[in-house]
Amino acid sequence: MGTDRYAYSSRLKEVDPIPKLWFSLTVLLVCLFSESISVGLVTALVMGVLTVRLGGQRLETVLHFLKIPLAFLVIGCATIVLRPISEETEALCAFHLLGQFRWGITVGYLQMGLMVFCKAVGAISAMYFLSLNTPVTDLTMALERLHVPRLLVELMELIYRFIFVLMDTAGRIRVAQESRLGYQGFRQSLDCVGTMLSLVFLRAWRQGDRVYAALEARGYTGSLVTLPMEYQDGKKLYFWGIGVVALQLLVFFAESGVLK
């Protein structure tokens, strides 16, 4: 189920999720507010190394999950780097579109695009440290301990569960359609996708009714009660967090020239 199968095999699975949560969020916020290319790169590198060394995850696993958002980042950052510019603006490269509009890449746009890309990669690496080392059940229980509204936590649990219910339902429908010679050509593929989406919606609606009826039959009174778990002490992660944040700030001050 997504990152959960890797989280359950992590060396940090039994560690208290609250230190892991604060560690990841602190590193993420420092990375986002630093406005620095170097800090983003350092954050991505350090958090990736910690995910492998502390969590015991394979490097191939971390790189595999990083590939998923990279496509969106490349497209998003391309729209920042390449923009319409005036005829007087100096550009690294430029061209005219339809003979009227001048598009180009300037030094400022390139730096802005690189900064957004590096910050996003660093933030994603920080969140992957949390998700690849913390099962979702432990994370929701940690949120309850931090006094996050119970309704929000339960909605997170149900939504997360139904993501995989919908994926399984869609997969079964697609297999059935392909066995009946579906998806033969572009037009037929669109028709099959439309049919699949409508069936997934209807089956999800029915499944939701059945789940709610099952909860009421088991004494559901408006909240999902989960037995607390015993965790290992995670105070060492606070020291790791202090060290990573100190490194981020050191790189930021060095880049900005404060340490000269």
Instruction: Tell me the average confidence (pLDDT) per consecutive run of 10 residues in the chain, 260 residues long.
Output: 82 92 94 90 94 92 88 87 80 75 83 92 94 89 87 82 81 86 83 86 81 80 72 90 93 78
Nearest CA among 84, 127, 126, 128 for reference residue 109: 84
| Same domain assignment for residues 10 and 76 | yes
Element at 102 (helix H, strand E)? strand 101-105
Q: Is residue 144 part of a domain?
A: no
Number of domains in the chain: 2
- For 46-92, list the strands marked E by DSSP: 83-84
Which pLDDT score is estimated for 23?
95
Nearest CA among 213, 208, 174, 179 for reference residue 194: 174
Secondary structure class of 232 (helix, strand, coil):
strand
CA dist., res. 120 & res. 75, Å (int): 13
* Beta bridge mates, 94: 104
| Same domain assignment for residues 28 and 91 | yes
CA dist., res. 93 & res. 165, Å (int): 49
| Same domain assignment for residues 4 and 98 | yes
| Same domain assignment for residues 75 and 20 | yes
Which pLDDT score is estimated for 174?
87
| Same domain assignment for residues 7 and 85 | yes
Nearest CA among 201, 211, 204, 224 for reference residue 152: 224
Which pLDDT score is estimated for 99?
65
Secondary structure class of 201 (helix, strand, coil):
helix
Which pLDDT score is estimated for 260?
57
| Same domain assignment for residues 92 and 197 | no
Nearest CA among 107, 110, 119, 109 for reference residue 37: 119
pTM over 0.95: no
| Same domain assignment for residues 127 and 237 | yes
Q: Is residue 79 part of a domain?
A: yes
Which pLDDT score is estimated for 259?
62
CA dist., res. 89 & res. 103, Å (int): 10
Which pLDDT score is estimated for 87?
76
| Same domain assignment for residues 211 and 88 | no
| Same domain assignment for residues 2 and 112 | yes
| Same domain assignment for residues 219 and 245 | no
Range of the domain at 211: 149-226
Contacts of 256 (CB under 8 A, 6+ apart): 36
| Same domain assignment for residues 91 and 184 | no
| Same domain assignment for residues 47 and 125 | yes
